[in-house]
A and B are shown apart, each in its own frame.
Chain A
Amino acid sequence: MGEGTIYANPLVYIVEGAIVLFILVNIILARRGKKLFIRRIPGLASLDEAVGRATEMGRPILYAPGVHGVDIVGLQSMAILSHIITHAAKYSTRVIVTVAEPLLYTVADEVARDAYNAAGTPEQYSTDDIRYLTDRQFAWASGVVGTIHREKVATAFYFGAFFAESLILTENGQMVGAIQIAGTPQTTQIPFFLATCDYTIIGDEYFAASAYLSREPTLLGSLVGQDFGKVVMIALILIGNLYFVLDWLMPDSGVVNLMKDYFINYFQVD
């Protein structure tokens, strides 16, 4: 925001409006009882198994919500944390949360308290298990690594925004023999998580996590609406490809100029 701010153009209104409409319509349909199918996501399906492993081994669970703060990625991480704590509380398994951002720490603290209350075990909640470390990337990573080794965690969950520290965390989790499940929208970290974690959740599977775990009609409807949004994206890509092919075959033709005036020009960013 500020100098050089980009504002929406008419195509943005249409495309974004269409995607938002798909999402809202599917939410309404889901709330009215329409049955929606969601495919199996192995990483999310194994969350409960990973919690069970920690319970069997009598060792705690580590949850690292990444280095970002209270944004979409962070809040989705909190939704997953809520599910994990609710499940772990049934078996009295400790969940240690290591937070890198102070605003997210306050949210994580509330989420943990509410999850333990929802599970009927408020006495398991401990402020010592929800830890704000530091907002410095590698200082946070070294704090998490220290926690992994000192607490000898049996299961480690990494859900959130990660950058260069991702490999440091997961390699140390491997050293203590922890089962590791990671999910991040950062495409650059996916290869590292794939190489070191038992399960990895890629791309928009991360944003499907809350719907997958809770199976709430509202969230499932939103997920189906998302998929329609991807259809809109595919249609736009196909139209763009068609334009470039036609431009190559018959440059300066009427059709090409029409597409350029009413479609391609709106994608130009100054």
Chain B
Amino acid sequence: MEFFASKTGLAYWIYISASLILGGVILWALCVVPPKFRKPIVILVTFISGLYLSLEFLVQPPAGQEQNWFTRKWPDVSNVIIVIAAFALLIGTVNLLSIHGKALWKRRENWYNSLAFFIAFIAIMAAGFARDSYDGPVVQQTFNILFNGLFMPMQATMFSLIAFYIVSAAYRAFRIRTIESGLMMGAAAIIMLALVPVGTYITAWIPEDSMFAFLRLERIGYWILVLPNMAVQRAIAFGIAVGALATGLRIWLSLERGSFFEREL
């Protein structure tokens, strides 16, 4: 639809101004609406939003076409969601600045962590804007150092801690006290051995084409993963899917209960 197409020049600024004015008018209207009408408005907006996504899946595309009307309009709808998320990001950033600003201003305990936050926040923001605005080796390199040189390795470091945490968690938690825990340990040991060369070497002496080939560790490990493990995972997934359907239905029809969902607006 041309209305949602990208605009340039004067049309660009007219659309932005009109959107801001329209947004302000809607906010004002929501504020002056009597309280008894606010909840029905929220319920109606929730229902229409959910109805769009339901119809997008349920309505068959017309003959000869691959998509229905709802799917074709989805890029425009997702742009609206992206804009709302951008405003929410602003609110989240304000919260971050507020918390760390107070910690720094009042010199609370560990205030230097808040100082580090501000330095990092300003540095990466400045580097990002500079990279997008200017085309030079210095700004590109600065951004690369901050993002690829600092952020990515730090992320990888946190990820790599998992290896050590798995060992400490397993050492602490995996005790054979019952038959079930013994079965679990046995299955875990078989699968661990099946996935490493040393483990497959243990049963490599059994010929591949013999009638006892099923006793090879990699085959037992594969069987455990593909059959009982997959069956249980799928069973849990079925339950989750039905649970998600029920929860989604309650939220869509505004049947959810709780202090947040039932409060007066």
Contacts and interface: CB of A to CB of B under 8 A. Distances in A.
A131 B95 CA distance: 7
Nearest to B239: A204
Interface stretch (A44-52, A220-228, A259-267): A220-228
Q: What is the predominant secondary structure among interface residues of chain A facing chain B? A: helix
Interface stretch (B96-104, B130-138, B215-223): B96-104
Nearest to B245: A19
Contacts of A206: 240, 243
Contacts of B242: 19, 204, 226, 229-230, 233
Contacts of A19: 242, 245
Interface in A121-141: 127-128, 130-133, 136-139, 141
Contacts of A13: 58
A159 to B, nearest CB: 13
Given A8-B57, A131-B95, A131-B99, A79 B240 contact: no
B246 A226 contact: yes
B212 interface: no
Nearest to B113: A146
* Residue in A1, A16, A79 whose Cβ sees the most chain B Cβ within 10 Å: A1
Given A103-B84, A139-B155, A230-B238, A195 B71 contact: no
Contact of A1 (B74, B90, B259, B261): B74
A239 B178 CA distance: 36
A134 to B, nearest CB: 8
Given A102-B92, A131-B99, A196-B169, A82 B251 contact: no
Given A167-B162, A168-B161, A218 B257 contact: yes
Given A2-B71, A8-B57, A207 B244 contact: yes
A102 B155 contact: no
Contacts, number: 200
Interface string B41-76: 000000000000000111111000011100100110
A130 B95 contact: yes
Contacts of B169: 167, 170-171, 174, 192, 195-196
A72 B155 contact: no
Contacts of A153: none
Contacts of B89: 102
Contacts of B251: 72, 75
B259 A127 contact: no
Interface residues of B, number: 66
Nearest to A5: B71
A216 interface: yes
A261 B172 CA distance: 54
Q: What is the predominant secondary structure among interface residues of chain B facing chain A? A: helix
A83 interface: yes
Nearest to A215: B257
A76 B88 contact: no
Contacts of A2: 67, 71, 74-75
B45 to A, nearest CB: 14
Given A78-B260, A218-B255, A196 B173 contact: yes
B236 interface: yes
A187 B60 contact: no
A123 to B, nearest CB: 17
B174 A118 contact: no
Contact of B85 (A12, A102, A109, A136): A102
Interface of B: 56-61, 66-68, 71, 74-75, 84-85, 88-93, 95-96, 98-99, 102, 109-110, 113, 154-155, 158-159, 161-162, 165-166, 168-170, 172-174, 233, 236-240, 242-251, 255-261, 263
9 contacts: A2-B74, A72-B247, A76-B247, A111-B260, A128-B99, A174-B172, A195-B169, A195-B174, A219-B250
Interface of A: 1-3, 5, 7-8, 12-13, 16, 19-20, 23-24, 27, 69, 72-73, 75-76, 78-79, 82-83, 86, 99, 102-103, 105-106, 109-111, 114-115, 117-118, 127-128, 130-133, 136-139, 141-142, 146, 150, 164-165, 167-168, 170-171, 174, 185, 187, 190, 192, 194-196, 202-204, 206-208, 210, 214, 216, 218-219, 222-223, 225-226, 229-230, 233
Given A7-B58, A204-B240, 7 more contacts: A75-B247, A83-B258, A114-B259, A118-B263, A207-B246, A229-B245, A230-B242
